[in-house]
Amino acid sequence: MSETKAVQEHLFDAATQITETIDFGIKVQDVRSGRTPMPPQGLRFNFKIEGELTGAKIKGKISGIDYFYLRADGIGFIDAQMIVTTTEGDRIAIHTQGISTLHEGSAVSQFSESESFLTASVKYAWINRIQGWATGTVDLATGKLAAKSYIA
């Protein structure tokens, strides 16, 4: 028997901004503009991210780093470690892993990712037992990210 689990309820929306990009020899803007060809081994970037979470279950600030790897074919791999500080002051660690597709001729990339959570907060202990799923976009020209997260 084969069963799939549907995405359940909405967890939060994230409105974030890339605040710093750390490159490892080639800047993302140089590849996007065509000044520098994409190397065959791809590129690595560390994106520092900050922003806001809003939702019925969680509200607060989010910050962290996405250890992003961009293959030569334009497929990106997300591996982010984030910290949510809720409006009440509780902290939740989020680990996300996913895939991103940058469309030719566009600065906008679409992504989907899985999310796992960890906290010692009694109020938010329920989040330790769930798996999250998020989809969204990032505009590399502006550094703005928008995502919707659900309980999977």
- What per-residue confidence (pLDDT) applies to 111? 97
Q: What pairing do the DSSP bridges indicate for beta strands 131-139 and 75-86?
A: unpaired
CB neighbourhood size of 86 (10 A)? 17
At position 108, the amino acid (one-letter code) is V
Assess if residue 2 is contained within a domain: no
Is 103 among the domain residues?
yes
Q: Which helix (H) or strand (E) holds 30?
A: helix 28-33
Q: How many domains does the chain have?
A: 1
For residue 4, tell me if it sits in a domain: no
Does residue 60 lie in a domain region? yes
Beta-carbon count within 10 A of 120 CB: 11
Model confidence pLDDT, tens digit, residues 61-109: 999 999 999 998 889 999 999 999 999 999 999 999 999 998 777 889 9
- Residue 5 in any domain: the answer is no
Which tokens is 37 given? 């060809």
For residue 123, is pLDDT > 60? Answer: yes
Tell me, yes or no, whether 82 lies in a domain: yes
pLDDT attached to residue 103: 74
Domain that holds residue 140: 10-151
Give the tens place of pLDDT for each residue, 33-68.
Answer: 778 888 999 999 999 999 999 999 999 999 999 999
Predicted local distance difference test score (pLDDT) of residue 4: 58
Q: Are 87 and 41 in contact (CB under 8 A)?
A: no
- C-alpha closest to that of 100 among 21, 23, 45: 45
As given in the structure block, the two tokens for residue 79 are 């591996």
pLDDT at 48: 98
CATH number at residue 120: 2.40.160.20
Residue 1 has pLDDT above 90, yes or no: no
